[in-house]
Amino acid sequence: MRVPYYENPDRMDKILTALKQTDWAEFVEPEDFGLDPILAVHDRDYINFLASCWDEWLASDPEVAASPETHAFLPATFALRRPARLTSSLRGRGGYHIMDLSACIVAGTYKAALTSANCALSAASSSFTFQNSSFALCRPPGHHAGKDYAGGYCFINNAAVAANWLSQKGKTAILDIDYHAGNGTQDIFYERDDVLTISIHGDPDFEYPHYIGFADETGAGAGLGFHRNFALPQGTDDEGYISALDEALKMIRGFNAAYLVLSLGADAFDGDPLGTFRITRDGFNEIGKRISELNLPTAIIMEGGYANQALGNNIQTLLENFK
């Protein structure tokens, strides 16, 4: 069955159009930070796979090479990780490094993922240098990408890369307000106590990614107590969401964070095709207002949000609180 690929260029166009209508948004091109900040959170074998997959696939199949514009790489099988080992075949590596069918690889995937990560790093660098808030208009998003796997439209975990970079400058917290659990971010920081990670999302009992993001997952080892999932029920409205947010913000204040990375997904909006929450535009304004009252240098990283006609205005409404 064909399903729409909701992560498309129109999303960014809608956000850019809305921000260009303001008198406070300034636009700059991202810097190139190289691979070191990315390899600090992702396994090298995984990044090598993303870099080489498309060319390897074209070289392996003359039929694909003849018409690559009509195809995307996806594995036919997926690794059961208890246990699983990395194989030498391309499809085997694909099934090991890709979590689901929404992370297909095409000709420009790796370049786009690198650019997206550099957008996040540029925002982090700006927030550090100027002690202000900045917004990274990342595409593709990142919070479903784990240490060595892609999933949910995500390939490099932009927020994790930015947060790890900032953590070298001071205590850093990640607040993920995308509708879906930030499973990749959880995976990367789950055993660390230098980065507090919090995700507010639809309960995985009914919502993607289904196998991670439960309320009783609070970290492990040194990271025990430094991760928190707010797994909310279907139909959560402004009031219910703000209640969870207030508790999350209390945790961030208690952590004494010097920097905040905000994984900003707008798919909690009422009417989003991939969500069941009922957050209004006024709700987004209140969410932004309360987070901004932390008064922390904040790198705001774009994640999901697929109600495209409302997306630009929703993002603008939230970001106005940080200007």
The yes-or-no verdict on residue 2 having pLDDT over 60 is: no
Catalytic residue selected from 144, 180, 201, 227: 144
Q: What is the pLDDT of residue 80?
A: 82
Q: What is the DSSP letter of 230?
A: E
Digit-coded pLDDT (tens) for 7-36: 999 999 999 999 999 999 999 999 999 999
Digit-coded pLDDT (tens) for 23-76: 999 999 999 999 999 999 999 999 999 999 999 999 887 777 667 666 789 998
Q: What is the pLDDT of residue 1?
A: 42
Q: What is the DSSP letter of 224?
A: T
Do residues 274 and 229 lie in contact, with contact meaning Cβ atoms separated by under 8 Å? no
Helices (H), the chain: 9-20, 36-39, 44-60, 62-66, 90-97, 109-130, 158-167, 183-189, 238-255, 281-292, 308-319
- Helices 90-97 and 44-60, packing angle to 10 deg: 140
For a pLDDT cut of 70, what percent of the chain falls above it?
Answer: 97
Q: What is the DSSP letter of 269?
A: B
> What average pLDDT does the chain have?
95
Where in the chain are the domains?
Answer: 9-31+109-322
Question: Does the active-site annotation cover 97?
Answer: no
Coil, helix or strand at residue 25:
coil
Do residues 156 and 116 lie in contact, with contact meaning Cβ atoms separated by under 8 Å? yes
Cis peptide before 62 (omega within 30 of 0): no
Q: How many residues does the chain have?
A: 323
The correct answer on CATH 3.40.800.20 for the domain covering 9-31+109-322 is yes
The yes-or-no verdict on residue 107 having pLDDT over 70 is: yes
Backbone angles phi, psi at 189, to 5 degrees: -110, 5
**Exposed/middle/buried for residue 108 (C-beta within 10 Å: 0-12, 13-18, 19+):** exposed
pTM for this structure? 0.96
Do residues 57 and 107 lie in contact, with contact meaning Cβ atoms separated by under 8 Å? no
Q: What is the pLDDT of residue 132?
A: 96
